[in-house]
Amino acid sequence: MTQRLLQRDATRIGLLYSSVSGIIGSGWLLGPFLAMQQAGPWSILSWIIGATAVLLL
């Protein structure tokens, strides 16, 4: 049985994917805040409608 060693390196593509996933991942924190500013209390209704649509799909 041959063993393969894992190599630790940071390539440009790896760093690009890591930074893009960080940017996209922070969007779920900013989304509700911006929706509340724009729509006020009605934004909660939009989240309920969206959650229902996701559950039905």
CB of 43 closer than 8 Å to CB of 50: no
**pLDDT attached to residue 1:** 60
Q: What is the pLDDT of residues 1-31, one digit of tens each?
A: 677 787 788 889 988 988 888 888 877 778 8
Instruction: Identify the pLDDT of residue 49.
Output: 92
Q: How many helices (H) and strands (E) does the chain have?
A: 3, 0
**Average pLDDT, integer, range 47-55:** 90
**Amino acid 56: pLDDT:** 93
Predicted TM-score of the model (pTM): 0.44
**Averaged pLDDT, 36-54:** 89
Query: How far is the C-alpha of 34 from the C-alpha of 22, rounded, in Å?
Result: 19
Is the distance from CB of 46 to CB of 35 less than 8 angstroms? yes
